[in-house]
A and B are shown apart, each in its own frame.
Chain A
Amino acid sequence: MQAANFFEALSNVLPPDCIKTAAEDMRPYECDGLSMYRALPKCVALPENEAQLAAVVKLCHAHRIPIVARGAGTGLSGGAMPDPNALLLSTAKMMRILDVDPLACTARVQPGVRNLAISEAVAVHGLYYAPDPSSQIACTIGGNVAENSGGVHCLKYGLTVHNVRKLRVVLMTGEIIEVGSDSLDSVAPGGYDVLALMIGSEGLLGIVTEVTVKLTPKPQLAQVAMASFASVEAAGAAVGAIIAAGIIPGGLEMMDRIATEAVEGFVHAGYDLTAEAILLCESDGTPEEVADEIARVSDVLRQAGATDIKVSQNEAERLRYWSGRKNAFPATGRISPDYYCMDGTIPRKELPRVLNEIARLSGKYGLRCANVFHAGDGNLHPLIMFDANVPGELERAEEFGAEVLELCVEVGGTITGEHGVGIEKINQMCVQFSPKELTRMHEIKHAFDEHTLLNPGKAVPTLHRCAEFGKMRVTRGKPMPFAELERF
């Protein structure tokens, strides 16, 4: 099919201001939050509603033109990175909150609605949308669904998958399906849980055009305890001790000293800079419940060797303690020209071992690394600092990162807890899964997208790619993890 025909057809389904083809107009879309990977798309389409979006998809299907969906482009794994042969489908013009049902505690929104905008819109009803990625001012619910994003409160309140009731999805054929329901069942009797499968599918199975989210009643009170520790190991052990005491805090986050120092220079959150690590532990509920839990948490923290404990005395102080954690990424961006954020998850008991190993690797590669993470979930975010203008540093940072991810798999964890595989961790997928599982994932993709037009090359590696990666690793002379497993 001639390209001219495609563009002509596209201009029949979208208003002129919803199509961008000039390089300078497409520049803002050339990368997501993983800015080292860049490309210009074939064109950018910004449909204003579901009907237009479905028409674009159908057209691409007919012309066999791939599609990369994009929300706000805050993704950290290159999921929304354009492909020169693909149309970039932005949901930026679909940002209406369609309906709020305060009694049923649900809201129905378009995919381009920002995560925080939902909580803001329902605050008058004493409700909020629980998953709160640090990027929540900017990231969209469509992106959250595609990545199964988490936040600092997800140990207690769950990830995106636990807080989405229903989706409308445009399949690659242009057909529209609804998955989930307005009841509590994610499937009709006789159905498979396609809702669960869609969440975290990184734009590979369909384009989400409407999301019904579950809203959570705002707790009457939240307070955060901030504890200082003389070592990262001690802080890690304290996390286990809190869980062992039968407490599931509203949030449980850790930062090491490199991170707190970076943050203090940026937002003045009041962190103890003499501590090697700090823990933020939030308690929420009724005032009685919070008082009781904070007392128990403080006891556990003290017994675990906390050198200092401060408890927020009012909402402003609580927000200030959190502001540091929520701004840890940009703060790191201020002390280093570039940083690379990793996202492995490990069993909590492996925290000391993995953190020590990260420190060793930091020495080996000669790159600083700050650790900021969702400690309660064992979800690590090592921030590897480098300078892309220094020849070789980017490559070193990537190798450092790859070693960290492979270590996560080795200790029984995963290469990504919430940021997704995208293009970034595609090689490490070959470490985590055997060819059998990867083949099954390709088959699942084909059940939705027969011609592999949705976000091709992302999230699930081809076996060929794994074979190439395997060879490369062997020649690098490192032992392969799971060397006993079958490889092509």
Chain B
Amino acid sequence: MTIETWQAQIKQAAARGGKLAIRGSGSKAFCSPPASPTAVLLDIRAHAGVVEYEPNELVIVVRTGTALAEVERVMTAAGQMLAFEAPHFGPGATIGGALASGLSGPRRPYAGALRDFVLGCKVVDGKGEHLAFGGKVMKNVAGFDVARLLAGSHGTFGVLTEVAFKCLPLPQSQQTRVFELGAEDAVVAMNRWYAAANPITASVWVGGRLYVRLAGAEPAVRLAATNLGGEALADDARWWRDWREQGHPFFAASDASSPLIRVSCKATAAFGDLGNGAEKQAIDWGGAQRWLRASSVALPAIREWARANGGFAQVFRGAAHEGERVSPLPAALVGVQQKLKQSFDPYGVFPNL
């Protein structure tokens, strides 16, 4: 019923030049494209519930308005997880919001990104058509991989209504080792230890300390802990949850006056003092994600550094305008993107990316 209502609403907006914006709990509004001021909100929370979950199939199919916490609860009870460790950024975060923003947490370098676990996805597009792409099996190459294209599309193509994710078993055992280390050495250590086939599932350097999470089969974790050394971290599950949710003091009070800049770069890029002091930087994702507490006037220089190191930089929290949040794209790619947008949302009902 909800879907038919949305379809009608979208068709009406399309016919009359109206604007719509899709919203779950609003937990990720700060890193999403802004809605038109005249936009009417579509609340996806009206469309909630697990459609199908058979742990033995390693697949969960959920309506996108379902709370992320609820999905995680159901999966934990069955001994499984969404391995990309989606950040919630708020108590009411929905699975649809996670999907549309495409964000992944600390396990990303080792298990894969959100889009890597998408098996299928349904969308009501800007013409009001309800389309289904992908499916609910592990491998599927029939037609273009539109389901993964929809992941991270930030509600610009339409309302994502249902998603199928690949699930993985929870690791048998887990522990985190902490090392007192400088930033330069931490980058090297993160990369070396991974390349040496240690069962690492997260690594972060912050405040002069390197945190390495080991998880997997009990004997492997125990052995790696002995080999790597360091100190054990008490209540590490909680530490990693805080880190993922940006509840760690490093992230405190990020807003326009003190923005949080995200740099995505080659994991091996040597530490660059981009924030004017090592305490202004944290190194995440085995080196491939760097967080900076720096003023946005430094953004052009940071972007240049990121480009030279194989990636991008953006103001993640506290962007003063869209130009700080998104990166300029090359012309040929802009052309393709506009045509993609045009095919899903020809009447411009939804925001632009």
The reply to whether B142 and A414 form a contact with Cβ atoms under 8 Å apart is: yes
Counting chain B residues whose Cβ lies within 8 A of the other chain, the interface size class is: 35 or more
Cα A36 to Cα B238 in complex, Å, equals 59
Query: Taking the complex as formed, is A279 at the interface, i.e. its CB lies under 8 A from any CB of chain B?
Result: no
Asked whether A190 and B194 contact (CB < 8 A) given A196-B115, A416-B142, A440-B146, the answer is no
The reply to whether A447 and B79 form a contact with Cβ atoms under 8 Å apart is: no
The reply to whether A374 and B139 form a contact with Cβ atoms under 8 Å apart is: yes
Min distance, Cβ B160 to any Cβ of chain A, angstroms: 14
Query: Taking the complex as formed, is A120 at the interface, i.e. its CB lies under 8 A from any CB of chain B?
Result: no
A154: chain B residues at CB < 8 Å are: 139
The reply to whether B137 and A437 form a contact with Cβ atoms under 8 Å apart is: no
The reply to whether A412 and B265 form a contact with Cβ atoms under 8 Å apart is: no
A150: chain B residues at CB < 8 Å are: 139
A191: chain B residues at CB < 8 Å are: 327, 329, 333, 337, 353
Chain B window 323-337, contacts with chain A (Cβ cutoff 8 Å), 1 for yes, 0 for no: 001110110110011
A102: chain B residues at CB < 8 Å are: 195
Chain B window 263-275, contacts with chain A (Cβ cutoff 8 Å), 1 for yes, 0 for no: 0111110000000
Asked whether A243 and B264 contact (CB < 8 A) given A191-B329, A345-B138, A440-B131, the answer is no
B336: chain A residues at CB < 8 Å are: 171, 177, 194, 447-448
Min distance, Cβ A6 to any Cβ of chain B, angstroms: 24
Chain B window 116-137, contacts with chain A (Cβ cutoff 8 Å), 1 for yes, 0 for no: 1000000001000101110111
Chain A window 402-422, contacts with chain B (Cβ cutoff 8 Å), 1 for yes, 0 for no: 000000000011111111110
Q: By CB atoms of chain B within 10 A, which of A193, A199, A377, A412 has the most?
A: A193
Q: By CB atoms of chain A within 10 A, which of B145, B169, B223, B344 has the most?
A: B145
Min distance, Cβ A64 to any Cβ of chain B, angstroms: 19
Min distance, Cβ A451 to any Cβ of chain B, angstroms: 14
The reply to whether B131 and A158 form a contact with Cβ atoms under 8 Å apart is: no
The reply to whether A292 and B217 form a contact with Cβ atoms under 8 Å apart is: yes
The reply to whether A193 and B219 form a contact with Cβ atoms under 8 Å apart is: no
Query: Taking the complex as formed, is B220 at the interface, i.e. its CB lies under 8 A from any CB of chain A?
Result: yes
Cα A248 to Cα B141 in complex, Å, equals 22
The reply to whether A161 and B116 form a contact with Cβ atoms under 8 Å apart is: yes
Query: Taking the complex as formed, is B216 at the interface, i.e. its CB lies under 8 A from any CB of chain A?
Result: yes
Min distance, Cβ B329 to any Cβ of chain A, angstroms: 6
Asked whether A148 and B141 contact (CB < 8 A) given A177-B336, A193-B149, the answer is yes
Counting chain A residues whose Cβ lies within 8 A of the other chain, the interface size class is: 35 or more
Partner of A185, one of B151, B220, B311, B329: B311
Query: Taking the complex as formed, is B234 at the interface, i.e. its CB lies under 8 A from any CB of chain A?
Result: no
Q: By CB atoms of chain B within 10 A, which of A192, A197, A438 has the most?
A: A192
The reply to whether B136 and A412 form a contact with Cβ atoms under 8 Å apart is: yes
A187: chain B residues at CB < 8 Å are: 152
A436: chain B residues at CB < 8 Å are: 129, 131
> Chain B: which residue is nearest A127 at the CB level?
B195
Partner of B268, one of A104, A178, A291, A379: A104
Cα A182 to Cα B220 in complex, Å, equals 30
Min distance, Cβ A433 to any Cβ of chain B, angstroms: 6
Query: Taking the complex as formed, is B63 at the interface, i.e. its CB lies under 8 A from any CB of chain A?
Result: no
Query: Taking the complex as formed, is A309 at the interface, i.e. its CB lies under 8 A from any CB of chain B?
Result: no
The reply to whether B152 and A182 form a contact with Cβ atoms under 8 Å apart is: no
B54: chain A residues at CB < 8 Å are: 347, 349
The reply to whether B141 and A243 form a contact with Cβ atoms under 8 Å apart is: no
The reply to whether A193 and B115 form a contact with Cβ atoms under 8 Å apart is: yes
Cα A192 to Cα B196 in complex, Å, equals 33
> Chain A: which residue is nearest B346 at the CB level?
A443
Min distance, Cβ A211 to any Cβ of chain B, angstroms: 15
The reply to whether B266 and A183 form a contact with Cβ atoms under 8 Å apart is: yes
The reply to whether B218 and A415 form a contact with Cβ atoms under 8 Å apart is: no
B178: chain A residues at CB < 8 Å are: none
Min distance, Cβ B325 to any Cβ of chain A, angstroms: 6
Asked whether A184 and B285 contact (CB < 8 A) given A101-B268, A412-B135, the answer is yes
Partner of B312, one of A104, A105, A183, A196: A183
The reply to whether B131 and A437 form a contact with Cβ atoms under 8 Å apart is: yes
> Chain B: which residue is nearest A189 at the CB level?
B314
Min distance, Cβ B76 to any Cβ of chain A, angstroms: 13
The reply to whether A416 and B141 form a contact with Cβ atoms under 8 Å apart is: yes
Min distance, Cβ A470 to any Cβ of chain B, angstroms: 18
Query: Taking the complex as formed, is B109 at the interface, i.e. its CB lies under 8 A from any CB of chain A?
Result: yes
Asked whether A415 and B310 contact (CB < 8 A) given A248-B169, A288-B223, the answer is no
Cα A448 to Cα B138 in complex, Å, equals 28
B139: chain A residues at CB < 8 Å are: 150, 154, 159, 345, 374, 377-379, 414, 417-418
The reply to whether B143 and A186 form a contact with Cβ atoms under 8 Å apart is: no
A23: chain B residues at CB < 8 Å are: none
Partner of B143, one of A101, A240, A291, A460: A460
A447: chain B residues at CB < 8 Å are: 336, 339-340, 342-343
> Chain B: which residue is nearest A377 at the CB level?
B138
Extra inter-chain contacts (6) besides given A148-B141, A182-B311, A189-B327, CB under 8 Å: A199-B145, A200-B141, A200-B144, A217-B195, A291-B219, A437-B146
Which residue numbers of B lie inside 8 Å of A, CB to CB? 54-59, 79, 102, 108-109, 112-113, 115-116, 125, 129, 131-133, 135-146, 148-149, 151-153, 168-170, 172, 191-192, 194-197, 199, 216-220, 222-224, 264-268, 285, 288-289, 309-312, 314, 325-327, 329-330, 332-333, 336-337, 339-340, 342-344, 353
**Can you name 20 A-B residue pairings with CB atoms under 8 Å?**
A105-B194, A127-B195, A183-B289, A189-B312, A189-B325, A190-B327, A192-B337, A194-B333, A197-B148, A201-B145, A243-B57, A285-B216, A286-B219, A289-B199, A348-B56, A379-B139, A412-B136, A425-B142, A432-B142, A446-B343
